[in-house]
Structure 1
Amino acid sequence: MELIGGKSSNRPKRLRTRSPFKSFTLPKEMKSSSLHQISLAALFTLLHCTTIMNSCLANNTNNNTEYITKSCATMLYPQLCYKSLSKYANKIQSSPKILAITALSVSLFAAQSTSKLMSNLSKTPNLHSGEAATLADCVEVMGDSVDELQRSVDELTLRDILIIGD
């Protein structure tokens, strides 16, 4: 309990803070209505800007995914192609070169994962000789695939560096 102005009070003491806008004050009757109007205007502006940005991003993403859909349509497995590349639509946009590098990079990652899995499986104890030979062949083929994909990615990205450097 605290004495305020000689009277006892159960209310907690309120801290007074300085306002950086002390020199600018609105008349008392305008304070609540003006702040309400400013808040509504700010909210409306924010919602409007957000709607416009989302609309632009959606249109841009739709155009980018359409490009990937058209590009994947000619592949042997178009649905797998689209599923693998659509998450990179904003990066790819409509660039055939970036599409190719991204597709090779996604394939390289998958080949590296498969190669590691085959290598681990080939170390399984108590494999029959036929199983061990088959897994050894798989490890070799997957290793070759990883090497070729890595060379392809390096070649495409190296050309960009050489062209920019000239």
Structure 2
Amino acid sequence: MKRINMARRIAVVGAGGLCALGLAVTPALAEGASTTTHTSFPAAGAAFTCGADTLTAVSGTVNQVFHLNQDAQGIYHVTGTITPNGVTLQDAAGNTYTVSGASWFGGKSTSPDGGDVIVSTDTEHFVIHNAGGGVYAKVQITEHISPNGNVFDFDFGGCQPPSD
């Protein structure tokens, strides 16, 4: 399952479009201006892929906070945090799970659509708990794009987060 990368997130926030995850429209920024958007939406239908298993959200909400600003040099800075709240997952056999954790990303670009990323980091850290409260699996992904264009991608979990 494909996860959202930093350049795409900057493009979604900076371009003022609608994020597939439910982000409200972000207005165009004047130089030196900033905007912060808080949104929540139902988690139902979002799916974590854990090996051959798909765990689909059946209840709960997802909260998002996005911040975008343009500095005096014309560089766009973006951060965002995505957190589940009371999310219950279910597998094909009807077993239920809960999820905790967060996704955070931050970066900067010379264009509001994220076309020229200078530096960015994207982290996905979620713990999926079985019905007894024990750890079933984790999402542990960190992706970093350095100023020289090198990409570092670490994935130490057994699951992939929902994609857009």
Tell me which interval the TM-score lies in, with the shorter structure as reference length.
under 0.3
The structure whose residues are more often helix, as a share, is 1
Return the TM-score normalized by structure 1: 0.25
**Structure with the largest fraction of strand:** 2
Higher RCO structure (Cα 8 Å, ≥6 apart)? 2
